[in-house]
Structure 1
């Protein structure tokens, strides 16, 4: 609540400041954001770092089994993901990311670029440095952020219900302590184990349409008490008790 209040105050201040200096938003821009500001309208055929940032935020809005490439190139699949994002939040779904789309993105993210309903602390209950895994600390943390954006899309699709995370990034020692596989996606920061409500099967079923390459749930060995999702590049789904 405090973070949302601070963001609201900052937004009011920025709007007021814009009025003082006579700033008028153009067709390609939206108000500034404390995390990341998009400075141009983005559409199919464009490329750049801003496209990459857009892809991270819409990667959870895809069709069943699809994994959106976060490559900085605005192709047909990115356009479709943007359109699904827009539709999910009641915007005109033309697949072109402009001020209205950016404003909705800004409302969904905190100053550290994580989505408002998830935090780095939730994705890392192992150590505060993000070190000791299979990739650099910076890469693990970035992977966790991308996982959170997919979970944000999934949370919204489930009716804006809370999704609880029991495990995210793990160092090698943390992974060994819980009996994790030696090649676990948790070592890369790409994975999250989901518990609580909705049911494990509901979580596993819903995850199919939010860009997760890995989904493991009830019926898969060691996964009757949670649903595992991860961002591996190839699809591996197994939750036999859930029909997956």
Structure 2
């Protein structure tokens, strides 16, 4: 907690420097954390690895029912997601990622790039190296990071209430041990089973606004004790007891 407060203070200092120095047109080279630092302001029409890094962090602010592409191209969907991120955190909402937007991300971001309220360990209770699933370990972990940022967006939208991940990435052996489906999204690292302070139905309903293509909850077979979300691109939602 102390480390995060210090990081937030540093990020706010960066924003104030930009405001007083008239530097909002560029992000500035100042390093705000130990994970990733943006070196330029990003806006529609731009592309590059820095756009990809931004997309990972704002994909949880996608439009209703949308799974936003993380492709390094700053198109309309990315601009809309940046705008929603800005609105969610009380920033000027112009869809342009500059110093204030990056400062907010830095404040949310831990040194390993995971968001403030979730960890890799929470999403991977199977093994530490993300191996043995339907995709390579590096891909599974990358999918996991994207999922964690979507969960952060979901958590914030619900009033920053605690959410608990009961199951995330699974190798084939872990999946078999818990009786998971042979084509489970858990094998890809982009799925999470959730419980928490909100009702399971509220989780299923709100998840529709945070970049999850798969949502299954109460009323769907074997999902009355949790809400499942995943990053599949073809929408598949079923929580009949919740109107989803």
Would you say same fold, with TM above 0.5?
A: yes
In the alignment, structure 2 segments of 5+ residues that lack a partner are none
Partner of 1:96: 96
> Could you state the TM-score of these two structures normalised by the residue count of structure 1?
0.92
Partner of 2:51: 51
Partner of 1:77: 77
- RMSD value, Cα: 1.9
| Matched positions, count | 236
Partner of 2:199: 199
In structure 2, distance between residues paired with 1:6 and 1:126? 33
Q: CA deviation at 1:63?
A: 1.8
In the alignment, structure 1 segments of 5+ residues that lack a partner are none
Does 2:230 correspond to 1:230? Answer: yes
Q: CA deviation at 1:25?
A: 5.6
- For 1:127-151, what per-residue CA distance to the aligned partner results, in whole angstroms no more than 9, with x for missing partners? 1111111111111111010001001
- For 1:27-46, what per-residue CA distance to the aligned partner results, in whole angstroms no more than 9, with x for missing partners? 31243131100100100000
In structure 2, distance between residues paired with 1:8 and 1:95? 22
- For 1:45-82, what per-residue CA distance to the aligned partner results, in whole angstroms no more than 9, with x for missing partners? 00000111111111011221011111111011111110
Kept in 1, the 8 Å contact 2:193–2:228? The answer is yes
Partner of 2:155: 155
In structure 2, distance between residues paired with 1:196 and 1:145? 20
- For 1:89-145, what per-residue CA distance to the aligned partner results, in whole angstroms no more than 9, with x for missing partners? 001100000000000010010010000100000000111111111111111111010
SS of aligned partner of 1:110: coil
Kept in 2, the 8 Å contact 1:215–1:239? The answer is yes
Kept in 1, the 8 Å contact 2:7–2:106? The answer is no
